[in-house]
Amino acid sequence: MSEPQTALQGATAQGFVTVSEDGLHGMISLRGDLNDPKLKAAVAKLTGAEVPAAGRISWKGDRGVAWMSPDELLVIGPYSSAGKDALVLSKALKGVHHLVANVSDARAVFRIEGAGFREVLAKLTPADVSMDAFGIGQIRRSRFAQVAGACWMLEEGSARVVCFRSVAGYIFGLLEHAARSGSEVGYF
Amino acid sequence: MSTRLATGGRLLDRTRGLEFTFNGKRLRGYEGDTLASALLANGQTLVGRSFKYHRPRGIVASGAEEPNALVNLGESGRFEPNQRATTTELFQGLTATSQNHWPSLEFDVGVLNNFAARFLPAGFYYKTFMAPRAAWKHVFEPIIRRSAGLGKAPKDRDIDRYEHFHSHVDVLIIGGGIAGLQAARAAGASGAKVLLVEQTASWGGRAPVDGAEIDGQTAEDWIKNALVDLESKANVHLRSRCMGAGVYDHGYALAYERVADHTPGDGRPRHRLWRIRAKQIITATGAIERPLSFAGNDIPGVMLASAVRDYIANYGVSPGDRTVVVTNNDDAYRTAIALKAAGLVIPVILDARPEANGALVEEARDLRIRVEVGKGIAKVKGGKKVTGISICAQAGEGAALEDIACDAVAMSGGWSPVVHLWSHCGGKLVWDETNAHFKPDVDKAPTNQSGEGFVKTAGTASGAMSTGAVLQDANDAGKAAAKAAGFSAKSTAAPRVADVPEQPMAAVWSMPQGAGIKKRMKMWLDFQNDVKVSDVQLAAREGFESVEHAKRYTTLGMATDQGKLSNINGLAILSQSLNAAIPQVGTTTFRPPYTPISMGAIGGEARGELFQPVRQTSIHDWHAANGAYFEPVGQWRRPYCFRRASESVEQAVHREVKNTRQALGLLDASTLGKILVKGPDAGKFLDMLYTNMMSNLAVGKCRYGLMCNENGFLIDDGVVARIDEDVWLCHTTTGGAERIHGWMEDWLQCEWWDWKVYTANVTEQFAQIAVVGPNARKLLEKLGGMDVSKETLPFMQWANGVIGGFDARVFRISFSGELSYEIAVAASDGRAFWGALIDAGEEFGLMPYGTECLHILRAEKGFIMIGDETDGTVIPQDLGLEWAISKKKTDYLGKRAQERSHMTDPKRWKLVGLETLDGSVIPDGAYAVGQGRNANGQRITIGRITSSYFSPTLDRGIAMGLVEHGPDRMGEVIDFPTIDGTGTVIKARIVNPVFFDKAGEKQDV
Amino acid sequence: MLLLECPYCGVAADETELAAGGEAHLKRETVGSLDAEFEEYLFMRENPRGVHFERWRHAYGCGKWFLAARDTMTLEVFGTYPAQSKKPPKAIENLIKKKRPDWKGWA
């Protein structure tokens, strides 16, 4: 049996920033009452990271938790253990109304790296991605041209864009176009 | 003749010569020129022909308001018509051709219209071509289409690229003249995030040309310092070549950046459309000078006085050796003074006012320029260029007092603030009697989401008419905008200016005042669309009293310049004709964009492969490499069939059908929607969503279900599997996943929010592959890993397990009537699992199949397809699906609607199968006719085809359709007339819709 | 182009990130209702020139439905609030009364 494949098998493009498809991430969609102590404890125990406030993503080591909606988190970790992690969460939340779904294979993740990364985002999304509106530890769900996606920032000088797997090619095309050398805006 | 002066031209770099061509002629200009200034420098005063009369046209203006100088620009992949020469920066190798003439600019056949002008007044087309109808289509329209129209349509694909850019700011300032710069300084000082955009390549607007002195510096120096200051501020961003195009609701604005128009092919995007959200917007858009209406004011060589000044000061271009200045205000004297300073001759300044003795007037007199007050132009002489003028008394009827030879006329009828952007989103205007113009009504600004004004104007755009007033107004606007955006404004002081006092202008709408009809027929209002004073007067006489009606009747202001020069003059003529005050007549509506913007910019990146999103399954690459002929299904691309060498699409489909029925087929069903529904109330919820019962489905089992909307109409179908005590997995159609997930969330969030149910759309988590056909079980047993026998995994059940080393969930469901397994694996394993099936399946005759085969297989079995058998007006009862509607449930979505009298009418068309008597295939969508005719004399229809295919299995055409009383008419033959014009009628027998394996034995083995 | 604050995310969402869902606070009629009542529920909408309550979904964001009180003429937004509301919050009602004295009031 061969290795699991990402949608674009690690495609990269070099423009005034670098666009590259990340490897597979473990991603678990967790729906429930985000204020429930049992849910908070389960998430903290699995990831070591706090349940984040609205619009934020918390991170510890190779695991993170992103706020997706008032009753939904995206629990991020290694791809290989996502199935097991989902079971761990399910077990810990026994008796609490919740939903856990492994969505690791339903997504594509791109890393946008380089000084102009905000410009690449701003060409595609109506969300405010300027420094005062989008910084480290923030996630913004929005629209990237014609499809839904989210971007988050964990470190200076780069951001991640996540979208549905089926539109990975479209999103990569958008990012590549927006990042092409010569189209620097010089704005941020 | 216009020519380049030996010195001068503040925007030129005379060390950098550029070559360009106009109508194939090689000409030279300098870096910093516009195409218009370079054409004038080369003596090219004639640049085009007017729209209706094909009269010769020259350059009138120096900016965005230019009505005449439109050219075809560029070649092949960069060809673009209707480009304004005054806003086109010159570059090395530019090619331009003139428009709207045949065979040549100098000799144009269409000019015959000009001699017939008295027979072509406003409304001529409306009146003349009413009847006979055929004459319009065959005679008039072809002739008019050939002679009308502006530039040529491009033939080649645009080779440039375009993009959008979103920006969020506190204060957006549109216009980079001294007002915009000062407003940016004032707003920026508060710390607010400021974006300042300027449509041209240079900053400062008119001030350097008009020679203002600011804070003891020349305007030029003051602007330089202001730019240095602004550029040093992190919170202020400056953007030139970027035009504020439109202002919209809630602080949204569009700006149009011409990134590489002047450097084509340098690798940058050609245009960038800025999509801006601003808390506050300041329009510092300046003002536009108005022409004067005198006979022959359209002859090449007649220009706006400000434009003449611009060409001298900015580009070192003289519009003529002898220029007559004609005005109703002091400002135009600046032009005379500038001409004099450049060593040119001003035979006379004609001032329509009864007296003139302001500082500028006296300065002109001191320069020994002849000034005639109370005088105007009786007429301009010349054809393709000005050769002279006749002087008359402004008060009279135009008797010539004196003839003067000249080759240019500089006219000024006063200034109108550019209120377009203020008005786009509802800003109101007031009439300013002193300056005879509309200006923003500051109390009636466009309002934002909080109900508060979000647009302010600054400088001349506010109606401030002196440099000092402009800077004071701009300073105030900048501070006020920062404050309104939530910042505490710093007390910046407006720069000090020693204004040259000016005397009031006098409104002059017709020159001379008492001009007769002959003169009025030669007074142009709209140069591009050939609308004259006499046309507007005619419109008023004929009852087009509303300004909006008069505009459409005469086409005044409807050309590509949108009436930037003509609106106020035309309005004044209309109001005079109606004996009403100008503000009572009102203005037409200003709509974005301010000047035309490219379609490329509007589209941005959305062209070619990025035109719209294409969704691909994880197995897509294999399909593409193996002959897949794709079809769009929503945004997905699915293989319609897999063609083998030399096979037609039809042959491939037939092979796939036969092979699946006889051996083994493989379908990529990944696109089917998969939605998890979980919670203590999930069963109750699904019972409301589906027409049938889902709460009593046993864990491990599958059930086919139907969903209706509140109108009772069928909206989706699919198989539901019960995964656990409180977990269901709902399959939807390919196009339905997002829609149905949204539908579920709508009910859960907005109606039954106290029900404990969570949903998750897991469609893309899985690659789902249907293994279909008599050999399906053999293949899975060969791969091994789980028991797929009938005993362990019977029809309509599912199980988790491992197949060929892949974690899988296997559903025993069938949309083909064959033994079938739908196997879901992680999408990341999809490609590998598909490969494993393909490799192992060879010995069982495995072939992949596409969507058309799927359709035929299901039609042979009489299975309905959402979108074929349904069209948004079909209820499940129409399709004989009563078996899937629970009788026990008190409610489900659509139940009440299905009780309505029209839904229970026995005459509703119902689903049946149809077999043609001759075995042919009925066209999809064909209607069956009955006896008699309806009220419109049409044949009564009694049914229609919903699906129609050639069945390779049965070797004949089969169809499904909805027919009145259909199920009660088994065996009857009904008529389907064709629409191919042959009058052929296809006869078809009503039969059971299940054509193949009526007992359903093949799938349940 | 509208800008509406999603009451869940707190972000000011661009109209292109939202999906409109028509009139808010409809009462679902079902089995047992009179034809006229059902017609009212299914088809009859206010369509006022002025104050209007409507449904919006933060479709390209958190996916949640919310409600907005808005003036259809001026596009002024009086407030947004969660979809799980039988009627507009008092504060929004009061604000509308203050700003639109001739508003007929919450039915």
Least confident of B260-274, B540-554, C40-54: B540-554
- Asked whether residue A2 carries a pLDDT value surpassing 90, the answer given is no
**Residues 6+ positions from A10 with CB-CB distance below 8 Å:** A20, A21, A23
Contact (CB<8Å) C65/B750: yes
The pLDDT assigned to B246 comes to: 98
Same domain? A58 vs A119: no
Same domain? A117 vs A76: no
Using CB atoms, pick whichever of A5, A99, A187 lies closest to residue B760: A99
Residue A7 lies in a domain: no
Same domain? A94 vs A146: no
Nearest CA in chain C to B890: C31
For residue B461, with 0-12 CB atoms within 10 Å meaning exposed, 13-18 middle and 19 or more buried, which class applies? buried
**CATH 3.50.50.60 assigned to B162-287+417-484:** yes
Residue C107 lies in a domain: no
Residue C104 lies in a domain: no
The pLDDT assigned to B110 comes to: 67
* Token output for B844: 């069982």
- As a CATH number, domain B900-1005 is 2.40.30.110
The pLDDT assigned to B125 comes to: 64
Residue A1 lies in a domain: no
- Asked whether residue B140 carries a pLDDT value surpassing 80, the answer given is no
Contact (CB<8Å) B605/A174: yes
Residue C106 lies in a domain: no
Q: Hey, is B107 helix, strand or coil?
A: coil
- As a CATH number, domain B1-157 is 3.10.20.440
Residue A6 lies in a domain: no
The pLDDT assigned to B134 comes to: 72
**Residues 6+ positions from B493 with CB-CB distance below 8 Å:** B475
Q: Which of A105, A132, A162 is the last residue of a domain?
A: A105
Cβ pairs A/B, distance under 8 A: 142
Instruction: Check if the interface score ipTM surpasses 0.95.
Output: yes
Check residues C48 and B132 and name the one with the higher pLDDT.
C48
Q: What is the CATH number of the domain that holds C40?
A: 3.30.2270.10
The pLDDT tens digits of the residues spanning B480-502 come to 999 999 999 788 899 999 999 99
Backbone angles phi, psi at B987, to 5 degrees: -100, 130
pLDDT per residue rounded down to tens, chain C (107 residues): 999 999 999 999 999 999 999 999 999 999 999 999 999 999 999 999 999 999 999 999 999 999 999 999 999 999 999 999 999 999 999 999 999 999 988 76
- Asked whether residue B128 carries a pLDDT value surpassing 70, the answer given is no
Q: How far is B712 from chain A (nearest CA, A)?
A: 30
Q: How far is C103 from chain A (nearest CA, A)?
A: 33
Residue C63 lies in a domain: yes
SS3 readout for B782-807:
HHCCCCCCCCCCCCCEEEEEEECCEE
Task: With beta carbons less than 8 A apart as the criterion, state whether B268 and B257 touch.
Answer: no
Same domain? A94 vs A38: yes
- In chain B, residues with a C-beta closer than 8 Å to the C-beta of C42 are 710-711, 897
Same domain? A37 vs A75: yes
Cβ pairs B/C, distance under 8 A: 68
Q: Of all residues in chain B, what percent carry a pLDDT higher than 90? A: 90
Pick from B923, B920, B921, B917: nearest CA to B974: B917
For residue B491, with 0-12 CB atoms within 10 Å meaning exposed, 13-18 middle and 19 or more buried, which class applies? exposed
- Whether the domain at B291-413 and the domain at B517-580 fall into the same CATH topology: no
- Asked whether residue B540 carries a pLDDT value surpassing 90, the answer given is yes
The pLDDT assigned to B54 comes to: 83
Same domain? A159 vs A110: yes
Q: Of all residues in chain B, what percent carry a pLDDT higher than 70? A: 96
The pLDDT assigned to B710 comes to: 98
The pLDDT tens digits of the residues spanning B670-686 come to 999 999 999 999 999 99
Residue C105 lies in a domain: no
**CATH 3.30.1360.120 assigned to B622-668+766-858:** yes
The pLDDT assigned to A112 comes to: 98
The pLDDT assigned to B111 comes to: 66
Residue A61 lies in a domain: yes
Q: Is C104 in the B-facing interface, judged by CB distances under 8 Å?
A: no
Residue whose pair of structure tokens reads 């490329």 in the numeric block: B600
Pick from B907, B915, B924: nearest CA to B973: B915
The pLDDT tens digits of the residues spanning B436-453 come to 999 999 999 999 999 999
Residue type, C87: K
Residue C47 lies in a domain: yes
The pLDDT assigned to B682 comes to: 98
The pLDDT assigned to B164 comes to: 98
**Listing from the earlier edge strand, what are the strands of the sheet with C77-82?**
C19-23, C51-57, C65-71, C77-82
Q: Which of A54, A83, A105 is the last residue of a domain?
A: A105
Residue range of the domain that includes C11: 3-99
- CA dist B235 and B201 (Å) reads 22
CATH top-level class of B673-764: alpha beta
Q: Of all residues in chain A, what percent carry a pLDDT higher than 90? A: 98
Q: Is B828 in the A-facing interface, judged by CB distances under 8 Å?
A: yes
- ∠ CA B134-B139-B141 to the nearest 5 degrees? 95
Tell me the pLDDT band of B994, cut-offs 50, 70 and 90: very high
Q: What is the CATH number of the domain that holds A125?
A: 3.30.1360.120
Count structural domains, chain A: 2
The CATH T-level fold of domain B517-580 is: Arc Repressor Mutant, subunit A (1.10.10)
The pLDDT assigned to B149 comes to: 60
Residue A184 lies in a domain: no
The pLDDT tens digits of the residues spanning B731-770 come to 999 999 999 999 999 999 999 999 999 999 999 999 999 9
- As a CATH number, domain B291-413 is 3.50.50.60
Domain ranges of chain B: 1-157, 162-287+417-484, 291-413, 517-580, 622-668+766-858, 673-764, 900-1005
Q: Is C60 in the A-facing interface, judged by CB distances under 8 Å?
A: yes
Tell me the pLDDT band of B112, cut-offs 50, 70 and 90: low
Residue C40 lies in a domain: yes
- In chain B, residues with a C-beta closer than 8 Å to the C-beta of C1 are 248-250, 252
Residue A134 lies in a domain: yes
The pLDDT tens digits of the residues spanning B789-844 come to 999 999 999 999 999 999 999 999 999 999 999 999 999 999 999 999 999 999 99
* pLDDT, mean over chain B: 95
The pLDDT tens digits of the residues spanning B387-438 come to 999 999 999 999 999 999 999 999 999 999 999 999 999 999 999 999 999 9
Q: Is B272 in the A-facing interface, judged by CB distances under 8 Å?
A: yes
* Token output for C60: 């390209």
* Token output for A118: 């905000």
Average pLDDT rounded to a whole number, residues B537-561: 91
The pLDDT tens digits of the residues spanning A107-133 come to 999 999 999 999 999 999 999 999 999
Residue A185 lies in a domain: no
- CA dist B476 and B627 (Å) reads 69
Nearest CA in chain C to A149: C60
Residue A5 lies in a domain: no
Residue range of the domain that includes A16: 12-23+106-179
